[in-house]
Structure 1
Amino acid sequence: MSRILHLSDVHFGTVDARLVDPFLDLAHRLNPDLCVVSGDLTQRAGAGQFRAARDFVARLPGPVLIVPGNHDMPLHNLAIRLLAPFSGYRRVFGAEIEPQFDLPDAVVQGLNTANPFVWKSGRLRPASVWRLTDAFAKAPPGRWRVVVMHHAPVPAADGTPADIADPAGTLAVLARAGADIVLSGHTHMPHAGFAETAAGVLFLQVGTALSTRLKTGTNDAALVTLQPGKVTVESWLSPPGSAAFMPGPTQTHARPGAAWQKSTEGERPQPGR
């Protein structure tokens, strides 16, 4: 059984400073096997914002896997965005922008979906497809195959269409590669779901852990627990006006066969319900 703490869209440059230490305290109390940050570590890809993000990531517990998001490329400096879009990111986080991490029961592969030509919307590059397919083909049988990418090829929680080029094609690529779970952000809205054309892939999105750029009024992250045949997702929320993170809803998703289904086993309701 492995436990992954999933956070996203921290957006240093628009961080609610009151939340940083409480979130780090929570992360260390949860003591995950891996922390995943699925992009948008900065607000405008500034050097100071990258340094602040680096310092935060260094304080997270255990190993950390990160991928860039669209905000980690310059928005207004078109020359840098087109010629060296990830130069600032690489200066502080290293050259690898599609890292892989092995857990005892899972292979976790990061993919870079940030698109310098469009900036906001994502895309899946052919080289990323090859990397993903190769990594999962080499993974031992029986291990979960987990993808980390900033943009997801499924609609957001409010029904907004997927903000990535060729969502249907991306879904097909993920399914063919053998992906079981996709961890993503970008929408600033937590959401869990499946796609009819890729029923074997579970999509888990989180909102923003630390930023003031809220769409739901609540900062959030999730603890994802991998077990044989099922995944449990525990949300952790910081409601408006609060400087602490508290337990939110818990969902369990089971895959008894080829398709995922939501289970009520061990489900923790929302506070107040």
Structure 2
Amino acid sequence: MTRILHLTDLHFGFHRAALEEPLLARIAALRPDLVVIGGDITHRALPPQMRQARAFLDRIEAPLMCMPGNHDVPAWNLVARMFWPFAGFRRHFGPVLTPVGRAGDVRVMALNSADPYAWQRGKIREGEIGRVIGNVDAMGTNIVALHHPLQQLPRVDKALARRASEALYRLEASGVQVVLSGHLHRWATDALLATGRHPRVLQIQTGTALCARITDGQNEFVLLEIDGPDLRLERHVAPMDANGFGTPEIADYSRVSGVWRRV
């Protein structure tokens, strides 16, 4: 069994500092094989925020893979945003914007969906879909991780990332079984599966891990336990009025039939 932890939208600089220690303690107790950091690690991509976030991530003992979100490019320095938007991210979180991680027979492939020329809306870059498809392991479990969702529910009022629909169709056809995303600060898994549009891809949209925005209502992260075609989600939630994470919510899924179904 392989344990992948998805942690996204930390927003250092506008985060719940009091939740840092409970989050680190819960991660340590879960002992994941790999931690996927799904972007918006900082709130405004300022150097002090990046240093603070890096210090937090350095306390996680599991292997990490990081990708940028739209908040991880300079917000106010327009010159840096135009000419070297990811310089700070590379300096603090690693030189590779689209890392690949492996744990057991699970392969996690990152996409960089952050667009420096659009504040919120993301994009899938030319050639990125083909790069991921070329790395699909036909014998294992393939996960794609990116900041922006590839499908959104009707209640979402943000624009879908450019080429997101094309990416989702092509990734599903290639054998990608799971997509991890964030950005919306809203949990969505079963509702996306219920649309019936992409039954061979389990899309896990995880809420914010540490952002202090009251309207989000809670902070959360998710642990994936993968055992061949079976997958268990442990959703760990900390309400805004709580000092830590409660008992996880458990959901089991299987793709034995060729499509994902909740067990």
Q: Say whether the 8 Å CA contact 1:27–1:60 is kept in structure 2.
A: yes
Q: How far off is 1:218 after superposition?
A: 0.8
Gapped regions of structure 2 (runs ≥ 5) = none
Which residue is 1:96 aligned to? Answer: 96
The structure-2 alpha-carbon separation of the partners of 1:120 and 1:10, relative to structure 1 and needing over 3 Å to count, comes to same
Instruction: Give runs of aligned pairs for residues 12-161 of structure 1, distance below 5 A.
Output: 12-136=12-136, 139=137, 141-156=138-153, 158-160=155-157
Contact between 1:157 and 1:191, CA under 8 Å: does it hold in 2?
no
| Cα offsets for 1:26-79 (capped at 9, x unmatched) | 000011111111100000000011111111111112101111000001122222
CA deviation after TM superposition for structure 1 residue 162, in Å: 5.7
- In 2, Cα distance between equivalents of 1:166 and 1:127: 11
Tell me how many residue pairs correspond in the alignment. Answer: 260
Shift of 1:159: 4.3
Question: Larger % of strand: which?
Answer: 1
Q: Distance in 1 between matches of 2:29 and 2:155?
A: 32
Distance 1:156 1:3 in 2: 27
* Inter-partner Cα distance in structure 2 for 1:214 and 1:8: 17
User: Which residue is equivalent to 1:166?
Assistant: 163
Structure 2 distance, partners of 1:229, 1:165, is 31
Distance in 2 between residues matched to 1:262 and 1:168, nearest whole Å: 23
Secondary structure of the 2:91 match is helix
When residues 225 and 162 of structure 1 are mapped into structure 2, their CA distance, relative to the original with a 3 A threshold, is farther
In structure 1, the residue matched to 2:180 is: 183
Which residue does the alignment assign to 1:266?
Answer: none
Following TM superposition, the consecutive aligned residue runs of length 4 or more in structure 1 with deviations greater than 4 angstroms are: 156-162
Q: Which runs of 5+ in 1 are unaligned?
A: 264-273
1:187 partner amino acid = L
Deviation at 1:116? 1.2
Deviations 1:106-159 (A, max 9, x none): 1111110001121211111123223201211xx2x3310001100011115944
Distance 1:156 1:34, change over 3 A: farther
TM-score, with length taken from structure 1: 0.90
Cα RMSD after superposing both structures? 1.7
